[in-house]
Amino acid sequence: MSKNKLLFLSLMLLIGSASCKKQLDVGNPNSPTLVSDVTNEASLAAFAQGAVYVDGFQQSNAYNWLGNGYFSLNYSYSELLGDMVGSTDANEIVNTINIPYYVILDNSTKYTSNGGANNEAQATQLRVGNTRASTAAGYNPLYYQWCDMYLLNGSCNTILAEIPTVKSLSADAVSTIQAWAYFWKGYAYSVIGSQYTAGLISDVAGATNGNYLIKDSIIAASNANFSKASSILGGISSGSADYTRVIGELIPTTYQGTPHGGIPTPTVWIHNINTMLARNILVNKLSPFVNGSLSATISKASIPVMTQSDWQNVLSLATSGIQTGDAVFTATSDPVNSLYPTKDGNITLMAAGPNSDLVFQPGLRLTQNFNAGDQRLALDFTAGPADTFYNDYFSTVYSLINTSNGSSTVYNYSDQDIGAYELFFAGSWEENTLMMAEANIMLGNTDAGLTLVDAERNYQGAGVAATAGTGLTQAQAYNQLVRERRVALFGRGLSFWDSRRWGWIYDITQGGGSYGNKLLYLPSTGASVMNVNATFDYNFMDYWDIPADEVILNPPSKGTASVVTNPNY
C-alpha cells in the first residue's frame, strides 16, 4: 500500500517538474534585446542614437562621478591643462593634475607649492596614478576619455553589425545609419589620437586586439572613417526623404531645435566632417608661439611642426568646412531625461556661479585673453571681492555668471537654465573660422586672417575694435588669433591641445613655457599680490600614456609594448 502511495507521489512530482520547466525561461521583461527588439528602422535608429549619445557621452563608465558624463570630466581636463580653470576638489585629481612645474613671479622669484624645488613633474604624477587600483579609486585621469571613446567606438561597431540584420531598410536609410556610425568612429579615433600617445584600431563588434599603434595611425584611422562617412553621404541625393527622416531619428528631437543644431543635409554634414579633418591636422602638429615669438622651437615633442602644406591643407579643408548657418552637432539639457544635468553637464556649467560653491573657478589665464571692452567678459563674468577665490596658482577674482547674460547678441559661456546652454560635440563655426584665420596668418595672409578673427568676434558679440587693417605684424596677428581661440572656444575641450601645439606645456628647458601671465599670488603672510608678468613652466606630458586598465587587460601583442607609454617622458 505504501508502495502505491510512493508511486503516486513520484508521479505528482514528475507532473510538477514538467509544468515547472516551462516557467523557468522568465526572460527579462524590463529590457529589450538586440535580437528581438532592434528589428526595424525606428528601433535601429533608437539604438544608433543611444549607442552614440548614451554609450559615448552619458554615463558610459562607472567611475565617472565628477559632474555627470563625458563633458564634465574630459572637457574639464582639457580646460584645466589649458590653464583656463582651477579647482580645489580632489575628485579625479582635478586639483593637482594642472599644477605647473614652477612659476616665476613678477619679482623674478620662483614659486612652487612646496616652497622649494620644482613641483613634481605632471608626467610622474600621471604615471604613479596609472594603475587599475588608482582608476578604481578615481585617481587615474588617463582612464576616462579612453574608456568613453572606446565604448563609443565599440557601440558604433555594433551599429554597423546590426544594419544587415534589419531587412526592411531602404538604401538611403542604410547609408544614413552607416554614415552616422563611421562619423562617430572617426570622432572617437580623433579624440584618442589627439590625446594619447598610441591607440588601438578596433573595428569588430565585441572584440579587440593587442596591436597598439602610435597616435599617427589612430589619426589616420579617424580620417579614414570620416572619409568613409563623407563618401557615403556624397552618394545620397540632397532631397532624399529617407535620409531626412532617418537623420531626424538619429539626432535627438531636442537638439534639432537648438540655435546651432538641427538636421544637417548630407552636404552640411560633409562640411562638419571637413572641419574635423582640419582639426585632426591642426591639433596634432606644433605651431610654437612661445613668449610671443613665431620662431620659437620645441626641442623634444611627440609631434612635428606644421609645414606650409599642412597649413594649406587646413585652409582648404576649413574653407569647405562649416559654413555660416550650417547645422552642427550640439546638445542642450532637457527638463527630464537629459543627456547631461543642466547645472553640471559641462565644464562651463560647473564653473558658473559664485565661486564659493563651485567645482571649477574660471582662471585669470582665461580672462586675461579678452581685449579691453570685450562684452563677453563684461556681461558673462563678474569681478570683485566676492568673486575672489584663493587656490594656489589658480586664485581668481572672476566668477562666471550662471544664467543668461541678458544680451541676445553676446555669446553666453554658461546658462544653467534648462535648455539654455548649447554644448558642442564636434566642430563649430567659430572653430572652423578660426582655423581658416590661423592658416591664413601662417601662410602670410595676415589681414585675411585678421578679418576672419574679427568676423568671429562679431559673431560672438565681442564688441571690440577690428584688427584687420591695423597694421599688425604676423606675430601680433597670431597673438590676436591665439587670444581669441582661447576665449571663443572655452569649454569645447580644445584648450589643452592648443596649449600643446603652441608649445606652452613643454618645459622651459625644451623651449616651452607660458609668458606674460596674470597670477594672484597669496604669500604665507600678508596681502595677496596681483602679478601680471608671471612665467609658467607647466611641463605637462604632451600625449598621454595608455591607461593601465587597457594595457593590463589587453596586453600588447608582440613588438607593440613600447608604444603604450610616451617615450619623451
- Which is nearer to another protein, 8 or 307 (by Cβ)? 8
CA dist., res. 84 & res. 94, Å (int): 13
163: nearest Cα among 33, 39, 51: 39
- Which is nearer to another protein, 454 or 550 (by Cβ)? 550
- Which is nearer to another protein, 16 or 235 (by Cβ)? 16
CB of residue 61 to another protein, shortest distance in Å:
6
309 binds another protein (CB under 8 A): no
What is the H or E stretch that residue 501 is in? helix 495-501
565 binds another protein (CB under 8 A): no
- Which is nearer to another protein, 356 or 562 (by Cβ)? 356
C-alpha cell at 373: 571692452
CB of residue 1 to another protein, shortest distance in Å:
8
Looking at the DSSP bridge assignments, the partners of residue 381 are: 400
166 binds another protein (CB under 8 A): no
* x-or-dash string of contact with another protein, 397-426, rule CB under 8 A: -----x-------------x-x--------
Q: Can you tell me which of 12, 465, 532, 561 binds another protein, judged by CB under 8 A?
A: 12
**Residues of span 130-159 touching another protein by CB under 8 A:** 131-139, 146-147, 150-151, 153-155, 157-158
CA dist., res. 272 & res. 232, Å (int): 14
Q: Can you tell me which of 24, 164, 167, 238 binds another protein, judged by CB under 8 A?
A: 24
346 binds another protein (CB under 8 A): no
CB of residue 127 to another protein, shortest distance in Å:
8
Per-residue CA distances from 271 to 233, 381, 452 (Å): 11, 33, 18
- Which is nearer to another protein, 388 or 476 (by Cβ)? 388
Asked whether 135 and 547 are in contact (CB, 8 A), the reply is yes
CA dist., res. 280 & res. 227, Å (int): 13
CB of residue 84 to another protein, shortest distance in Å:
19
438: three-class secondary structure by DSSP = helix
514: three-class secondary structure by DSSP = strand
Query: Could you give the residue ranges of the DSSP H alpha helices within 424-470?
Result: 429-442, 446-459
- Which is nearer to another protein, 213 or 294 (by Cβ)? 213
DSSP of 199-226? E----STT------EEHHHHHHHHHHHH
C-alpha cell at 240: 532624399
CB of residue 405 to another protein, shortest distance in Å:
15
Rg (CA), the chain: 26
**Residues of span 48-67 touching another protein by CB under 8 A:** 49-51, 53-55, 60-62
**Residues of span 258-287 touching another protein by CB under 8 A:** none
CA dist., res. 203 & res. 178, Å (int): 13
Beta-strand pair 514-521/423-424? unpaired
102: three-class secondary structure by DSSP = strand
Q: What is the torsional sign of CA 249, 255, 259, 264?
A: negative
Beta-strand pair 85-87/381-383? unpaired
Which one of 23-31, 163-171, 281-289, 303-311 is the stretch in contact with another protein (CB under 8 A)? Answer: 23-31
151: nearest Cα among 196, 184, 195, 190: 184
244 binds another protein (CB under 8 A): no
- Which is nearer to another protein, 480 or 566 (by Cβ)? 566
**Residues of span 76-135 touching another protein by CB under 8 A:** 88, 90, 93, 95-96, 113-116, 119-120, 124-126, 128-129, 131-135
561 binds another protein (CB under 8 A): no
**Amino acid in position 249:** E
Q: Can you tell me which of 41, 79, 374, 392 binds another protein, judged by CB under 8 A?
A: 392
**Residues of span 460-499 touching another protein by CB under 8 A:** none
Number of residues in contact with another protein under rule CB under 8 A: 114
468 DSSP assignment: T
* x-or-dash string of contact with another protein, 432-451, rule CB under 8 A: --------------------
- Which is nearer to another protein, 68 or 367 (by Cβ)? 68
4 binds another protein (CB under 8 A): no
